[in-house]
């Protein structure tokens, strides 16, 4: 009986691992020219390595560092097709990427998480929807009629008023830039409790209904703790990040580039939060004391052990769009530092508009070149290339044109993208006249409402089942 309780607790902790994206079982690739000095591979261990003049990885065994002609070289044992083993010594600058070969235990762990991740996500979504619909909330503070902060009887009214005041200033700033906000947004203010918060802050892209706070469906932003840590409840960066999501969804259609590709929407959500607070750090102390969730100033994710932004590309295969967002957000922060705050304010709306308007023509370019976009990692690389090309093109009438073009070429070289190709793409892009990407209220919300209703019912059933199970298991102690 006690074993069942232990298993139940472990299963309830699995969503924390999945949602936090703390994939410590998976060693990420590193760009050797920056990383080998700081984080050496272990002697005798198997690695996949790709040299700068090779297109594919080879499996090798790291044999240590050797000194030759006053230079430090990495020595690998390479197995040839005929089975012969040879020693190869290469300079660190010759190594494009390397990563640890997964062991059987690691592969088994990855498979387990892939099997459990989807049902866990569905369970969490179901319970979340049921709370959004049925849980009684009370009005704590409001910003005119545009923002209503609600919570339960133990939620902090002071924190609610602070959120309402902050969003009033942020909304005013975003409207001045040319963006739209929802007419009314419900802010759900969470609080610490015995059970951990498995989701943290989030923004719903569609309107939802709560039976206790009003008869009309409204967009929702939930400001929750992360696990048991409540720092996210008062973190400005987290609040503005989630608000940017709702503003972008209300400014542009779902099919627009900025809403279609999540890594780029996450990047701009981080950037607007950092730009408004004048601080590139997002979510300091939110998950761990002294560490942030993301730092777009240096392209790092402190909690996840990421290195520089190039290391993130292979994460795309795991749908880690928060990780991938560090590439474009870091580029935007570099652009801000180069051209200044006021210049960013002058150009950022038109830049996002251009990302939406020119993407169809970029897809046509890729199609004419015979390039496939069905691989997520490759598509992300293409979109980064497009992102740089649009900045390159958009800056043609900026006073800082020369400096921006130089920055974009430097970034392209850092990311190992051909910078001379940006000129060709920028000059070939044309505006899509097929449709407008400005937001329009959806005419048919049946599928969305049906999904929420089904998830809500499932959530109620799941919660009732969990309570019943725990009651039966724990009753042995009483």
pLDDT at 252: 94
Each residue's pLDDT tens digit, 392-432? 999 999 999 999 999 999 998 888 788 889 989 999 999 87
pLDDT grade, residue 33 (50/70/90)?
A: very low
Average pLDDT, the chain: 77
Is residue 329 within 8 A of residue 357, CB to CB? The reply is no
Top-level CATH class of 32-101? mainly beta
Percent of the chain with pLDDT over 70: 70
Instruction: Classify domain 135-250 by CATH number.
Output: 3.30.2010
pTM, entire model:
0.72
Helical (H) or strand (E) element with 46: strand 46-51
Closest CA to 223 of 195, 193, 192, 188: 188
Select the more confidently predicted residue: 48 or 186.
186
Select the more confidently predicted residue: 361 or 30.
361
Percent of the chain with pLDDT over 90: 35
Is residue 156 within 8 A of residue 193, CB to CB? The reply is no
Scanning the structure block, which residue is given the tokens 């080998």? 36
How far does CA 260 lie from the centroid of its chain? 13
From edge to edge, which strands make up the β-sheet containing 95-100?
85-91, 71-79, 58-68, 46-51, 95-100
Each residue's pLDDT tens digit, 67-122? 777 677 788 887 766 566 777 888 777 777 777 765 565 566 666 666 666 666 66
pLDDT grade, residue 300 (50/70/90)?
A: low
The domains of the chain are located at: 32-101, 135-250, 252-441
pLDDT grade, residue 195 (50/70/90)?
A: confident
């Amino acid at each position: 009986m006690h074993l069942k309780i232990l298993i139940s607790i472990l299963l309830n902790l699995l969503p924390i691992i999945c949602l936090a994206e703390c994939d410590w079982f998976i060693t990420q690739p590193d760009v050797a020219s920056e990383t080998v000095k700081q984080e050496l591979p272990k002697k005798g261990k198997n690695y996949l390595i790709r040299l700068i003049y090779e297109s594919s990885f080879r499996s090798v065994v790291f044999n240590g560092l050797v000194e030759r002609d006053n230079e430090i070289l990495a020595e690998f044992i390479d197995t040839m097709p005929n089975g012969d083993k040879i020693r190869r010594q290469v300079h660190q600058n010759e190594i494009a990427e390397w990563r640890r070969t997964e062991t059987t235990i690691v592969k088994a762990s990855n498979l387990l998480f892939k099997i459990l991740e989807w049902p866990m996500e569905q369970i969490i979504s179901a319970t979340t929807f049921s709370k959004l619909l049925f849980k009684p909330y009370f009005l704590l503070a409001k910003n005119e009629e545009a923002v209503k902060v609600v919570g339960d009887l133990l939620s902090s009214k002071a924190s609610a008023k602070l959120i309402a005041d902050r969003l009033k200033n942020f909304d005013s700033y975003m409207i001045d830039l040319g963006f739209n906000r929802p007419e009314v947004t419900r802010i759900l203010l969470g609080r610490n409790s015995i059970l951990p918060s498995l989701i943290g802050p989030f923004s719903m892209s569609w309107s939802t209904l709560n039976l206790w706070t009003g008869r009309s469906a409204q967009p929702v932003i939930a400001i929750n703790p992360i696990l048991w840590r409540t720092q996210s409840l008062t973190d400005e960066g987290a609040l503005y990040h989630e608000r940017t999501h709702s503003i972008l969804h209300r400014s542009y259609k779902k099919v627009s580039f900025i809403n279609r590709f999540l890594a780029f929407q996450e990047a701009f959500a981080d950037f607007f939060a950092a730009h408004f607070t004048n601080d590139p750090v997002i979510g300091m102390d939110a998950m761990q004391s002294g560490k942030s969730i993301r730092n777009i100033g240096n392209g790092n994710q402190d909690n996840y052990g990421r290195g520089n932004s190039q290391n993130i590309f292979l994460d795309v295969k795991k749908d880690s769009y928060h990780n991938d967002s560090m590439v474009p957000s870091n580029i935007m922060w570099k652009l801000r530092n180069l051209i200044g705050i006021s210049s960013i304010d002058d150009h950022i709306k038109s830049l996002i508009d251009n990302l939406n308007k020119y993407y169809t023509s970029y897809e046509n370019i890729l199609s004419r070149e015979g390039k496939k976009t069905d691989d997520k990692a490759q598509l992300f690389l293409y979109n980064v290339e497009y992102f740089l090309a649009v900045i390159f093109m958009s800056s043609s009438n900026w006073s800082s044109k020369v400096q921006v073009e130089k920055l974009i070429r430097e970034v392209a070289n850092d990311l190992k993208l051909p910078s001379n190709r940006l000129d060709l793409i920028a000059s070939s892009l044309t505006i899509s006249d097929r449709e407008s990407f400005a937001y329009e209220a959806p005419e048919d919300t049946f599928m969305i409402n049906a999904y929420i209703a089904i998830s809500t019912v499932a959530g109620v059933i799941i919660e009732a089942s969990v309570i019943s199970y725990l009651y039966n298991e724990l009753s042995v102690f009483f």
